[in-house]
Amino acid sequence: FFMIRPQQKKAKDARKFRESLQKGSKVITIGGIHGKVVELAEKTVLLEVDSGTKLRIERSAISMDSSTQLTEETAKAAK
């Protein structure tokens, strides 16, 4: 029970994050691609990774908000 609970919480938080995506959100995919959300569909997201370069990916492939990662990296660098 104690080993499964944190994993369930993490999965729930990830699902909430993917459901709350909006146009203009800056995200990182599970493959490490950074991009800005341009268009949202039920199961897919269109990311702009460079000016004029867009990728359509599954929502489940989005890992995190890139501004969150930058904040974590800044905190680690400050230690």
Q: How far apart are CA 75 and CA 78, in angstroms?
A: 5
Residue predicted with more confidence, 23 or 70: 23
Enumerate residues 6+ apart whose C-beta is below 8 A from 8: none
Give the model confidence (pLDDT) of 13-22 as tens digits: 888 988 889 9
Closest CA to 57 of 21, 7, 10, 8: 21
Q: How far apart are CA 43 and CA 8, in angstroms?
A: 21
Give the model confidence (pLDDT) of 20-54 as tens digits: 899 999 999 999 999 999 999 999 999 999 999 99
Strands (E), the chain: 26-29, 34-40, 44-50, 53-58, 62-65
Please tell me the pTM assigned to this model. Answer: 0.71
User: What is the model's pLDDT at position 74?
Assistant: 57
Q: Could you give all domains of the chain from N- to C-terminal order, each with its CATH number? A: 4-78 (2.30.30.30)
